[in-house]
Structure formats: structure tokens, C-alpha cells
Amino acid sequence: MAFSLLHLLLSLIISLSSLSNFSASSSSSPENNNQNDGGKTFIVQVQPDSKPSIFPTHHDWYSSSLSSLSSSSSSQPPTILHTYSTVFHGFSAKLSPSQADQLQSLSHVISLIPEQVRHIHTTRSPEFLGLRTTDPAGLLKESDFGSDLVIGVIDTGIWPERQSFHDRELGPIPTKWKGSCVAGKDFAANLCNRKLIGARFFSAGFESTNGKMNETTEYRSPRDSDGHGTHTASIAAGRYVFPASTLGYAKGVAAGMAPKARLAAYKVCWSAGCYDSDILAAFDAAVADGCDVVSLSVGGVVVPYYLDAIAIGAFGASDAGVFVSASAGNGGPGGLTVTNVAPWVTTVGAGTIDRDFPADVKLGNGRTIPGMSVYSGPGLAAGRMYPLVYADSEGSDGYSSSLCLEGSLSQDLVKGKIVVCDRGINSRATKGDVVRKAGGVGMILANGVFDGEGLVADCHVLPATAVGAATGDEIRRYITAASKSKSPPTATIVFKGTRIRVRPAPVVASFSARGPNPQAPEILKPDVIAPGLNILAAWPDKIGPSGVASDKRNTEFNILSGTSMACPHVSGLAALLKAAHPDWSPAAIRSALMTTAYTVDNRGETMLDESSGNTSTVMDFGAGHVHPQKAMDPGLVYDISSYDYVNFLCNYNYTTKNIQTVTRKLANCNGAKRAGHAGNLNYPSLSVVFQQYGKHKMNTHFIRTVTNVGGPKSVYQVRISPPAGTTVTVEPERLAFRRVGQKLNFLVRVHALAVKLSPGSTSVTSGSIVWSDGKHTVTSPLVVTMQQPL
């Protein structure tokens, strides 16, 4: 696998450019509308113990500091948007450039972080994961289905009336819970119950940038007006609901990963996105309220950790013992696309399950093209072939019409026909709506080259199906050839319903973001993958399943795809593991999920990459696909303390101030740097980047510590699968534990020979370090990246 060094540099430039946009004065994007009045939002970190005693609270102190700024500024006095006191110390406010400069000069101010705007990364999965209620010794029974664990979902809110959130047969709300149910538009405080025990919303950052919320289109309350948050919450902890389906598809029992876990919804995402100041406020509240797990299916551009509000909030949560799961992003299948890459966050990519929804295209030349769709409504006439058109081939506005953008299709050209639409720009379901408005009877949605062969099943508003890039090209060629003949092109779509026990599965989803980690390549990201393609989960009223405004259908469940759907699978599993092992840290839970993950599909072969059909790699799936049953009893775990993360940041040459911004801890990096290098963080995976610089031989080492969580007297033997072109040794080769909880160290040495590469390119090879005692198998990926500098 090869990646260009130029690509890496370009990614960094893009990240820095995106960051600098917060200081630019010429942008029409929503996140910069506040430039009109000379201000923008900053998250301000302060030294909390510097508060003068004259101020009764930190909020009073912060307000006084802001008031003092306005006296020397012509702009309006700034006001506090949020005060942070749990995962972060400080506040957020909208500041003019001069006010920001003044505030930065105050001795008690540690840093000012420009606000970013994030976006959401948008059942059979419990059974596919092996979570069966009939298993007497399974993870569900062992953890009492996650009872009394609290999962905080930071997202678009929740629709509380769904059966997935009923509280029948649940015990009292855990006594540790300190949260609240906040009333707002169409959301009464009594809508919370023993299942949904908390609901809050955070909009000050959004409204500071965009002005007062339009309450005719959004709920100024925890109520979900998008659907994404309801969907992710029910994946993490939805109750058992039967019967469940989406428009007749995927019929069966719907259930989340931790059916008895309690839920707390923190709404931070609005029509213009999810604002950092609001996200950080949600993290602050979730930890103070008593959440055990935080699930975040939101992401954005990758920036250094000290400028990343999600990384900062997640560190504060991890430091408090709260597990944080975050989506890897939907930027795949290209490399260097993974987001939410902080090592204290469990980063989740997406895979398929063994269920799909075939909807094939039958062409007039007799060819049948495989497709995928969730469509329920008036169908195409059985046995009838319809005229087939690719709008670009009919002489209209080629680019817009080929994409089926709004207003681009001529009724004269498409009425009564099936229309081929290229994927891109507008949403997949919106293209179908455009075709329908123009009088088309059906749509074939064709992937582009970048999308590859990955197929997403959408709830279309007219008979429609999705096809891959190669088959899309075949259909276009057929249209071109047939149009020149005496037999005009024709087609129909054949919907085949729900198919289960599909092989191969799992497959790495085409859209799932890939490594390498653009921020710290020594930390393999994503960590794991989980089900994220065509996942059935709860859905609100008043929002059609296609997401198109004209779609007036109501359904209690919807089928969505994205790493957004994969993330709450892991959040729910983390709650189950925490319930079964209350003493495990967030790092131990992640270790259990990673070292027991698998990389083979249900054929017994290495998982495939959906976009290409080729074998996938560690850059696609990280440690592999989660295996809940094995994660309950991993044998050994790689634990990490907060100060280990501080040492990691020291070895990454972060300044003392940078580290304090992220961790709230004053760091002395002299000792930490003597401990080794960034790759020596006690992570369950091992990754090294060698810069060749004309060298023939290169070497490094890793120090790791494993904790025995298996039998009291266990002896583990190592098995090494070295990456191609390397020599790997492990010392010692045998670890003998005398008791549970005992920690032992081992040393991994890696020797590599230079490979022939063109300037600016890289090659990636992988292997593994496996410890086994005959009962447990503890697997760590070992990745070696060779870079040829420009």
C-alpha cells in the first residue's frame, strides 16, 4: 500500500488553511457569518486557581474579565456563551480581534482556541456481533444488558416517544446521576423516564455565529429535528422492539447494543452544523452529570490536539474515567481521511453486516446489473421495459444534469423514463426527487470512480437503485451504443426485498475513513471497525426516511449508513464491558476491543475493501472488526494513564502550554522525552514511520506493558508475524503471571531495510505481535511505514 508524502503535506496545508479561515474576513460560509460584526467565537482556557477571592464564582470572574475588555474597544461588550468547569476550565465568547488580543495577554489566560464547525458523519447487527439473549454466559447476561451504565450521546437530539426508549422493567435511575431533563420547544421535562434519564441542548455557539434560531424549522430543545441523534442513540442502547422494519425492509427485532443502559441526550448539532463551543459544553455536562460512556458521531478537519475542542473535551472525559467513542469519518476510500484521531479516543470505522437489500437493473440488452435500494411504494410495471436516459447524453447542461441537480432536468427529455444520475454534490435521495419532479419514473444512481463499488441502500422517493462505478460505466456505454442503433436504450428495476446471511461479511465500507493518521502516524487509526452500512434504528416523526423535504412518509425506524452508525455500536459495547468489569479504565476497554478484534470474514478470508473488491489492510480496519464476546475476556490489556498521554504529547514535541491546554496538567517533559518516542505510548497497536534519507538499515523499539485480567496463573508465549522486509524480535518471549492485575513489560525491536521508492512516496507493510496462553489470543497490529523524502 503506498501513500504520497505530498498527499500528507497537502493534508496538513488544508488543515492549517481551514484553521486560518477563522481569522479571515472574506467568507460567505455559515461559520464565518459573524465576520460582519467583527467578531468570532473563541474557547478561552484559564488557570482556575488564579481566581481572586472577591469573585464568588468563576463565571463572575470571567464576566468581569470580559467587561474590562469592552472599555477599550468600540464593539459591543462580549458575553459568555458557555462556562466550562469539568473537562475544561474556562469559557467561550464571541470576541473582536482586539478583544481576543487583550484577553490573550492576561496572565491567567492559558490559550484561545478558534471555534471549528463540525458535521454529523452520516436489526441485525446485535445478532451479527454474536450478542444473543439465549447465551447463558454471554456479554449481555454478564453485564445485565448494561443496566445502570449511562451513555451520553452528543448529537442532534432525540425523539423520546419511540419504543426504543421505553422504560418498562427498568429499575430506578442510578443514584450517581446528577443530570437533568431540560424543557424547550415541544419537549417537556416529563418526557424523560428511567431509560432516557437526561436531555439537554446547547445552542449558544450556533446562535452566536448564525443569529437567533429559526424555530419554525428547528426545535430549540433536546428534540431531534434531523433524525441522526435518535438513530445513533437507539443503536447504542435501544430497547427490544418487535416488530420493527423500514417500509417493510429488515423485518425483525430491533435492539441496541446495551438494551438496559440509560441514555442521556446532548443536542449540539443544528442546521448549520455542530459548533465547538457547544460540543465542549456537552462534554463538560456529560461528565459532570455522571455518564460512563460518551458517544460522538461528529467530526471535522484534523488539527493539532491543542486546537481541537473534541480532543480536549475527550481528554477531560477520559481523565475522569469516561470512555469516549467517536466516528472515524466518511471520507473513504481515500487514505489520510480519518478524523477524531486523539489516542484517548476510540476511533471507529464502518463495516457491512450479512444483510443487504438487492434491487437490480435489467437492461434492454439482456444484462442484469446488481444494485441496492430500500424503496417501498408504487413500483414499475412488472415485465415492462422503460426508456433509459443519461441526461448528459441528451445535450442539456451536461455537468448539472448528469448529477441531477435541482432544476437541471428537462421534462421533455426525462418524462416517463428511467434516468441515470451521477453521485455527488447533492444528496442521493434528493437526486431522485429531482427526477420525480421532472416526470421521470425511476432513477439509477451511479457511483463515481472515487466511490468505487460500495453501495448504500437509501429510502428513495421513487423507484430507484444504486450501482457501482464500473457497472455505472457499463450502463452509460449501453445507452450511448443503443442510442445510435435502431433499438433505443431501455431498462427496468427489480426490487428483491431483504436478503440475509450474505457472503462475504463483514466488508470494510467504501465510505469509511482510512488511515494513516494525519496527526500522529505512530498511533494507528481507526482503532476498530463496527457495523455501519444499512443499519436499522429508531427514527423521528415528521421527518421522511429519505430526508427529502417533500417526503411525507412516517416510519418508526430508518435504515442509514455511515461511521456515525458504527460509533454507537462501540459505545454500547463499551457500556456492556464497563458493566461486566467496573474497574476497567477507558484505555483497558479499548484494548479489549482491539486485541480481540478479527480481520477475517464469514468465508474465513481477510476482509475485503468494498470500494475495490480487493483485500483490505490495517489502514482500512485498524485492529479489525469488534468481537464483543471475546472482548469480555481478553486475557491481557494495554492500560494507559492520563500521565502516559502527557508523556506522549511531550514526545510529540508539544510545548508545556500546548499540553496544559489539552490536559489541564503542567508537564515537565525532560523526563518524559528520555523515556523514548511517541510510539512508546502503551497502545494496543504498534506503528513506526522510517524516513529513509539514503539509509540502508533502520531500526526502532517499542516498550509495552500488559496487565493480566485473565487467570491468576497464566503463561503467555509470543508469536511474531513480521511486516514484509523487516526483522522483529520480542524480549522476553514468555510472560508468566502469578496473579490477576499483575503487570509485565516486553520490548519489541524492529529492523527494516530500505525499499525502492520514488521521492515523496511511502510504502506500508503490516504484521502482528500475538500473545497466547492457550485460552486467550491477544493480538496487536504492527505497522511499518517507509517514507522517501522529496
pLDDT-based confidence at residue 503 (cuts at 50, 70, 90): very high
**pLDDT at residue 36 is higher than 90:** no
Burial degree of 100 (CB within 10 A; 0-12, 13-18, 19+): buried
Asked if pLDDT for residue 38 goes beyond 90, the answer is no
Distance CA(206)–CA(275), nearest Å, equals 6
Q: Across the chain, what does the average pLDDT equal?
A: 90
* CA dist list (Å): 699 to 233, 523, 688, 751, 753: 46, 18, 10, 4, 9
Torsion of CA 727, 732, 737, 742, to 10 degrees: -80
For residue 755, name the pLDDT band (cuts at 50, 70, 90): very high
Which of these is catalytic: 89, 166, 228, 625? 228
Q: What is the mean pLDDT of residues 468-479?
A: 96
How many CB atoms neighbour CB 317 within 10 A? Answer: 26
CB of 42 closer than 8 Å to CB of 102: no
CA proximity to 444, closest of 485, 408, 476: 476
> Any idea how long the chain is?
790
Closest-CA residue to 253 (of 349, 367, 127, 433):
127
DSSP string of 244-305, one letter each residue? EEETTEEEEEE--SSTT-EEEEEE-EETTEEEHHHHHHHHHHHHHHT-SEEEE-EE-----G
- 19 band by pLDDT with thresholds 50, 70 and 90: very low
**Percent of the chain residues past pLDDT 90, beyond the cut:** 79
pLDDT of residue 70: 64
Is 221 in contact with 264 (CB distance < 8 Å)? no
Coil, strand, or helix at residue 624?
coil
Matching residue, cell 498527499? 7
- DSSP for 116-142, written as a single string: PEEEE----HHHHTT--TT-TTSHHHH
Strand 355-356 to strand 418-422: parallel, antiparallel, or no bridges (unpaired)? Answer: unpaired
pLDDT at residue 619, rounded to an integer? 97
Annotated active-site residue 396? The verdict is no
Q: Is the peptide bond before 504 cis (omega within 30 degrees of 0)?
A: yes
Q: How far is CA 542 from the centre of its chain?
A: 26
Type and span of the H or E element at 748: strand 743-753
pLDDT band at 138 (very low <50, low <70, confident <90, very high): low
Residue 479 pLDDT: 95
Average pLDDT score over residue span 310-315: 98
Per the CB < 8 A criterion, the answer to whether 116 and 273 are in contact is: no
Dihedral of CA 734/740/743/748: which sign?
A: positive
Backbone angles phi, psi at 467, to 5 degrees: -130, 160
Name residue 771's amino acid.
Answer: W
119-136 pLDDT, tens digit each: 987 644 556 565 555 555
Cα 17 to Cα 21, 22, 207, 300, distances in angstroms: 6, 9, 24, 13
Phi/psi for 224 (5° steps) reads -85, 120
Q: Does residue 723 have a cis bond before it (omega within 30 degrees)?
A: no
DSSP-derived 3-state class of residue 419: strand
Q: Cα–Cα distance between 193 and 160 in angstroms, integer?
A: 9
Beta-sheet pairing, 355-356 with 499-500: antiparallel
The residues facing 701 across adjacent strands are: 749
Residue 790: which pLDDT band, with cuts at 50, 70 and 90?
A: confident
Task: Select which of 564, 685, 714, 768 is catalytic.
Answer: 564
Query: Catalytic residue at 155?
Result: yes
Helices (H), 420-562: 428-437, 469-483
- CB atoms inside a 10 Å sphere around CB 20: 10
Q: Which residue in 357, 607, 657, 355 sits closest to 501, CA to CA?
A: 355
Contacts of 324 (CB under 8 A, 6+ apart): 293, 294, 296, 314, 317, 318, 344, 345, 346, 586
Q: Is 7 left (phi over 0), alpha (psi -120 to 50) or beta?
A: alpha
Residue 12 has pLDDT above 70, yes or no: no
Spatial CB neighbours of 77, under 8 Å, sequence gap ≥ 6: 66, 67, 69, 70
Distance CA 431, CA 405 (A): 7
**Residue 617 to residue 765: CA distance in whole angstroms:** 9
Q: Is 564 a catalytic residue?
A: yes
Nearest to 280 by CA among 45, 568, 570, 17: 45
User: In this predicted structure, what is the pLDDT of residue 147?
Assistant: 75
Asked whether residue 688 carries a pLDDT value surpassing 50, the answer given is yes
Contact 313, 500 (CB under 8 A): no
Distance CA 277, CA 342 (A): 18
Instruction: Indicate which residue of 155, 276, 392, 773 is catalytic.
Output: 155
pLDDT (0 to 100) of residue 668? 85
Domains of the chain (ranges; CATH) run: 2-116 (3.30.70.80), 119-351+506-582 (3.40.50.200), 358-497 (3.50.30.30), 636-640+682-787 (2.60.40.2310)
Give CA–CA dist 76/94, Å, rounded: 10
CA angle, residues 463, 468, 470, in degrees to nearest 5: 130
Distance from C-alpha of 38 to C-alpha of 34, rounded to nearest angstrom:
7
Residue that wins the pLDDT comparison between 25 and 221: 221
- The per-residue pLDDT for 135 is 54
The cell numbers describing 124, all together, are 441485525
Q: List phi, psi (to 5°) of 536.
A: -85, 130
CA distance 134 to 119: 39
Could you say which DSSP state residue 680 is in?
A: G
pLDDT of amino acid 9: 39
Instruction: Please give the average per-residue pLDDT across 159-183, as a whole number.
Output: 96
Which has the higher per-residue pLDDT, 755 or 674? 755
Q: Note the pLDDT tens digit of each residue in 590-623.
A: 999 999 999 999 999 999 999 999 999 999 999 9
In the predicted structure, residue 427 carries a pLDDT above the cut 80? yes
Per-residue pLDDT at 21 exceeds 50? no
Q: What is the pLDDT of residues 355-410, one digit of tens each?
A: 999 999 999 999 999 999 999 888 899 889 999 999 765 444 567 899 999 989 98
Look up residue 608 and give its DSSP letter: B
- Determine the residue type at 554: N
Q: Are strands 293-296 and 150-155 parallel, antiparallel or unpaired?
A: parallel
Kindly tell me if the per-residue pLDDT of 14 is higher than 70: no
Could you tell me the pTM of the whole model?
0.91
Distance of alpha carbon 772 from alpha carbon 610, whole angstroms: 32
Q: Given this model, what pLDDT does residue 379 score?
A: 85
Return the pLDDT at 483. Answer: 87
End-to-end CA distance of the chain: 19
Q: Is the pLDDT of residue 224 over 90?
A: yes
Residue 693 pLDDT level (bands cut at 50, 70, 90):
confident
Hey, is 369 helix, strand or coil? strand
Neighbours of 250 (CB within 10 A): 24
Whose CA is closest to 526, among 748, 357, 350? 350
* 418-422 and 442-446 strand pairing: parallel
Contact 776, 634 (CB under 8 A): yes
- pLDDT, tens digit, 9 for 90 and up, residues 434-445: 999 999 999 999
Residue 659: strand, helix, or coil: helix
What pLDDT digit, counting tens, does each position of 40-69 carry? Answer: 999 999 999 999 999 999 999 999 999 888
Give CA separation, 348 vs 26, 121, 246, 299, in Å: 35, 11, 25, 12
